[in-house]
Every structure is written in C-alpha cells, then in structure tokens.
Amino acid sequence: MAERTLFLDTSAFIQVGLLDENLEWISYQLIKNKKGSQVLHGLIFDLLVDQKLSIKDIKRLIVANGPGSYTGIRLAEGFAQILELEEVEIINFYHFEVPYFLGSSEYSYLASAFKGEYFCYSMKDGQEEKKLISQEQFSSIEESNQIFHIGEEVGGRTFNSLYPKFENMSVRIFSEVISRKMRYEPFYFRPLEKEFKPSKLIPSI
C-alpha cells in the first residue's frame, strides 16, 4: 500500500484532504460550514470509503492546530488524539507559518479572534510577534499582499487567503511540515481561563 497522509483543519472553515506519497492531493475539500462537529466525521468516512481505505491505511495525520477558537480547534485535535491511540503519526503546524514555508521572510497574518479583537502575527527581520489588537487598530492596517489570513475575509476586509495556497502548493507546504515532525499544542486566541471567563451578569453558583 502506497503511503497516505490525511490533512485536517477545523480552525475556521473545514479543510479535509488526502495526500499521496509525493504530497500531491488525491482528494481535497474546502467546506464552508462552521458547524464542523455536524459534518467532520462523515467527510472523513466518505473520503476513506471513496478511496477504498481504512484508518489503518493512513500513515500520518497533519493537523493545522490554530490559531483559532477553542470550539473550532478542538474538533481536529480531538480526532488527532483518537488516531494517536491507533499509533498514527500526528504532525502539527500553525497557519501563520505557511507564508514562511512558501518563502516569505517579512509578512503578517490576521484572524478574527471574536469579542471585538483580532489576532495579529508578524514576522520581520527574523523576529516574531503575536498579539491581540482592537477593532480600531485592525481598521488602521493598510492592505498588502504580504498580509495573509484564513477564510474569505477578516472583519469584512480581504487580504491574501491561504486556502488557495493549500490547494495549489501542497508539496511545498507539507514537505516543510513533515520535515519538522512537530506535535504542537492547540494555539487558542486566548488562554482558556480568559476565553471562558464568566460574565459579571451571571451569578456565581
């Protein structure tokens, strides 16, 4: 059986794909459905059936582990933990690394972090910066083809979406990911104690 790699991303929309031994797509789907818990397992099941494969035929699972919300990321991470029990190799990366994999040395990555904030990653002169910014700060950012994002837009603005790059440049992206063999923790926009901080309007029990 030829080597097969499964790719999964539930950080924003759903990306599910199967890669051959050369890291070319056998199958790739971008599902613009944010209710991933309702469709994810069915998508993976149908993909494997269509290719006449079982989970045991999968050599590795590559997961985009953020940045994102707890609700989105936990879907792919939960599936990864299940496959880990079956001794499938799990490899992770973060979305903001993709431009670097493709040769960019100075760029930014933006994502809606909800709650009126945006996640901003920047790479310049070999230095990284990760921070949450306000709506006002986001609005002041000038458009550039060196600003990347996941999804069709961020805060009503369109920059340089990574989705076409996943679809069209799989070999360059995933060869870099696999060469590192990193098992990253999920990258949430905020620490969980802040993400799930009780509202002052809700009385303590």
- What is the model's pLDDT at position 205? 46
The C-alpha atoms of residue 86 and residue 129 are separated, in whole angstroms, by 36
- Rg of the chain (C-alpha set): 18
> What pLDDT digit, counting tens, does each position of 32-54 carry?
865 656 788 899 999 999 999 99
Q: Looking at domain 5-95+163-191, what is its CATH homologous superfamily?
A: ATPase, nucleotide binding domain (3.30.420.40)
> Which residues in 121-131 are b (16+ Cβ under 10 Å) and which e?
bbbeeeeeeee
pLDDT, tens digit, 9 for 90 and up, residues 149-196:
998 899 999 999 999 999 999 999 999 999 999 999 999 998 877 776
Sheet holding 5-9, edge to edge: 25-31, 14-19, 5-9, 60-64, 89-93
Q: pLDDT tens digits, residue range 70-81?
A: 988 999 999 999
Cα–Cα distance, 174 to 202 (Å, whole number): 45
What are the two backbone dihedrals, phi and then psi, of residue 53, each rounded to the nearest 5 degrees? Answer: -125, 165
pTM value > 0.85: yes
DSSP one-letter string for 158-197: --EESHHHHHH-HHHHHHHHHHHT--PPP-BSS-HHHHTP
The amino acid that residue 144 corresponds to is S
For the chain, domain boundaries: 5-95+163-191, 97-161
